[in-house]
Chains A and B, each alone.
Chain A
Amino acid sequence: MEALLEPLEYEFFRHGLLAALLVGSLCGVIGVYVILRGMSYVGHGLSHAAFGGAVVGFTLNLNFYAGAGAMGLLAALLINRVTRSGEIKSDAAIGIVTTAIFALGVVIISRVRTFTQSFEAALFGNILGITGGDLLVIALVTAGTLCAIFLMYRPLLFSTFDSEAARVSGIRTDIVQLVFSLLLTLAVIASMNVVGVTMIAATLIAPAVTARMLTDSFSRMLVYSWILGAVTGVGGMYLSYFFNAASGATIVLFGALLFCLAALLRQIRERSLLRANLHRHGSLTHAHVHPSGHGEGYHGSGDSPDAIDAGAHPDPALFEAVQGHDGRRHAAP
């Protein structure tokens, strides 16, 4: 306990810890929609565009957040516009729009070399250099985003799952998409100084995919991802203190470790469920799994129940057990 309290004596750590907690919560919640809407690459791209914007803003004597925010928003709107016709996929649009803005920032930096030091924090994160003003921006963005997600929970879920049906139900999916792009842009900008442009994508995605490993319900996934994001931020900060390592990178590594643990847990659970199912049917020769999910039916991560019926066993050892010693699959008794 003492070891946990010791770093709190330092103001820079307290600021960093609070920033990591807020950014972790923010990215945890937003990240769920990011991965389910197939926008994982958008977070990565927007952070690069925001970086370019910050550099442009600096040359115009604008505030960091004003430059990054304006260019991030412009990039989000451009991506929306370019992909609307359906002829250009979002990954291609992100590739051209955000990389072009990032390149603009790099060109400006290369022309005025004194910028290099100033923007290192934005590129790689500098959580220990977080100021009171930064904390205020992060807190406001986190509170605003969580409120918006709370109020738009149902239209966001419906339009993310089935955009066409949502439109038929009267939901303005174009407005929902626009608002979400705005929230994502704000989240990326608020997180930039904490984890850095290069690692924002992982901060957005890791808690959400970890939560996905733990549940099949959307509402639970959202809550789990929120908690996991906060735990990743706080845990990563402490680890970076104890190991004297870069904070942003340690947070990302801790998030990746939690994902590996969740994936392992899921695999163990699936194997035990499959074994239990095999035994319940009285013989290891019957690998049938009820599609209707009676009891602890199939809880796979993507294969349909039909695939299991057809003999597509995820584990070769189990498949061998299902087969007879003569190597042929036996019929169910």
Chain B
Amino acid sequence: MDPAIRLSDVTAGYAHDVTFSRLSLEIPRGRFAGIVGPTGCGKTTLLKTILGTHRVFHGSVRLEGAPVERVRPGAIGYVPQLGSVDWSFPVTVEEVIMMGLYTGRSFRPWPSRKERARVRELARRLGIHDCLHHHILHTSGGQRQRAFLARALASNPRLLVLDEPTTGVDIMTQHEILHLLGDINDEGITILLTTHDLNAVASHLPWVICFNHGVVAQGRPCDIFTSEVLTRTYGGDIVIVRHEDHYLIASGTPLRFSNGVH
């Protein structure tokens, strides 16, 4: 069986620099994986390459065996970074979810009864049915993330890609979102996300890819979250404290203040 994602010998970047070169990576179907790495290491470029929205200089990207440019509309669900969303845009939560149902087959502006039912079903499942008619600005960080997740799930995707879903939300919301993604993954949907939150990844994700202009290491967090791998990934001292199944990952030496406050 073809893997969910296969990058073969891919080189990608921009006009003046190459972000990563000769990258080969396979992610099997049904995997729940996170990509971690420092800012500017190419995580977002890698994600966009997998989504087919970033042109590659060399190599091929295939999703479940098909070239990414020929994948059926809706086969990939995408949740952008919440920081990139225009929150003043006049859309309700319902309208956001409804966008995910567009397949290019209908020219009718208003949704069908079936589409409305699908939106309600997704909203109930993700716990946001109470705020369906609220403007997106008037929802909490967790509800916003769930609204975009519902939009991504609306087209029944085989692959779900999320760009930093744990950024900008509190620790409990992070926990809820990652558990929700775990439940979605249990239904057989492959999930790939990027994050800066190593602690959340270590305790919630079964598979991690350490990335810095190429794959530094990949595997289960318990196997690859070592000082050596993380130092190679981030280029600085990383301290890892393990307690039962929990990790606390910190970087560098704590600041000492001259006024005696530590």
Decide: B90 and A218 in contact? CB cutoff 8 A. yes
Decide: B104 and A165 in contact? CB cutoff 8 A. no
Q: How far is the CA of A151 from the CA of B104 in the complex (A)?
A: 11
Decide: A171 and B104 in contact? CB cutoff 8 A. yes
Is A154 an interface position by the 8 A CB rule? yes
- Further pairs besides A161-B89, A161-B99, A291-B139: 4, Cβ < 8 Å: A161-B96, A168-B53, A169-B102, A217-B90
Residue of A nearest to B76 (CB): A168
Q: How far is the CA of A169 from the CA of B53 in the complex (A)?
A: 11
Q: Which stretch of A68-76, A102-110, A239-247, A298-306 is in the interface?
A: A298-306
CB within 8 Å of B: which A134-165 residues: 150-155, 157-158, 161-162, 164-165
Q: Determine the chain A residues whose CB is within 8 A of the CB of B215 once the complex forms.
A: none
What 0/1 readout, one digit per residue, does chain A (167-208) give for beta carbons within 8 Å of chain B? 111110000000000000000000000000000000000000
Q: What are 12 pairs between A and B in contact, CB < 8 Å?
A: A157-B99, A158-B102, A164-B51, A165-B152, A166-B99, A169-B155, A217-B135, A218-B91, A299-B135, A302-B88, A304-B87, A304-B137
Decide: B103 and A170 in contact? CB cutoff 8 A. yes
Decide: B137 and A292 in contact? CB cutoff 8 A. no
What 0/1 readout, one digit per residue, does chain A (82-107) give for beta carbons within 8 Å of chain B? 00010000000000000000000000
What distance in Å separates the Cβ of B2 from its nearest Cβ neighbour in chain A?
Answer: 20
Q: Determine the chain B residues whose CB is within 8 A of the CB of A315 once the complex forms.
A: none
Decide: B130 and A164 in contact? CB cutoff 8 A. no
What 0/1 readout, one digit per residue, does chain B (109-149) give for beta carbons within 8 Å of chain A? 11000000000000000000011001101111001000000
Decide: B137 and A165 in contact? CB cutoff 8 A. no
Knowing A169-B102, A170-B74, A292-B131, say if A305 contacts B138 (CB, 8 Å): yes
What 0/1 readout, one digit per residue, does chain A (207-235) give for beta carbons within 8 Å of chain B? 00000100111110100000000000000
What 0/1 readout, one digit per residue, does chain B (74-116) give for beta carbons within 8 Å of chain A? 1010101000111111111001100110111011011000000
Q: Taking each of A164, A169, A292, which has the highest tally of chain B beta carbons within 10 Å of its own beta carbon?
A: A169
Is A36 an interface position by the 8 A CB rule? yes
Decide: A154 and B99 in contact? CB cutoff 8 A. yes
Decide: A216 and B78 in contact? CB cutoff 8 A. no
**Number of A-B residue pairs at CB separation under 8 A:** 112
What distance in Å separates the Cβ of A102 from its nearest Cβ neighbour in chain B?
Answer: 31
Is A297 an interface position by the 8 A CB rule? yes
Q: How far is the CA of A42 from the CA of B107 in the complex (A)?
A: 27
Decide: A291 and B87 in contact? CB cutoff 8 A. no
Residue of B nearest to A168 (CB): B78
Q: How far is the CA of A221 from the CA of B135 in the complex (A)?
A: 13
What distance in Å separates the Cβ of B56 from its nearest Cβ neighbour in chain A?
Answer: 15
Decide: A168 and B104 in contact? CB cutoff 8 A. no
Residue A161 contacts which of B73, B91, B106 (CB distance < 8 angstroms)? B91
Rank and list the top 5 A-B pairs by shortest CB-CB distance, nearest first. A170-B73, A153-B109, A216-B135, A168-B78, A291-B140
Q: Determine the chain B residues whose CB is within 8 A of the CB of A333 once the complex forms.
A: none
CB within 8 Å of A: which B156-208 residues: 161
Knowing A36-B89, A169-B155, say if A293 contacts B138 (CB, 8 Å): yes
Decide: B138 and A297 in contact? CB cutoff 8 A. yes
Is B52 an interface position by the 8 A CB rule? yes
Q: How far is the CA of A215 from the CA of B51 in the complex (A)?
A: 34
Q: How far is the CA of A219 from the CA of B90 in the complex (A)?
A: 9
CB within 8 Å of B: which A243-293 residues: 291-293
What distance in Å separates the Cβ of B231 from its nearest Cβ neighbour in chain A?
Answer: 33
Q: How far is the CA of A219 from the CA of B89 in the complex (A)?
A: 12
Decide: A162 and B130 in contact? CB cutoff 8 A. no
Decide: A217 and B92 in contact? CB cutoff 8 A. yes
Decide: A170 and B104 in contact? CB cutoff 8 A. yes
Knowing A151-B107, A164-B53, say if A292 contacts B130 (CB, 8 Å): yes
Decide: B88 and A168 in contact? CB cutoff 8 A. no
Residue of A nearest to B15 (CB): A85
Decide: A216 and B92 in contact? CB cutoff 8 A. yes
Q: Determine the chain B residues whose CB is within 8 A of the CB of A167 once the complex forms.
A: 51-53
Knowing A165-B80, A169-B155, A217-B95, say if A155 contacts B90 (CB, 8 Å): no
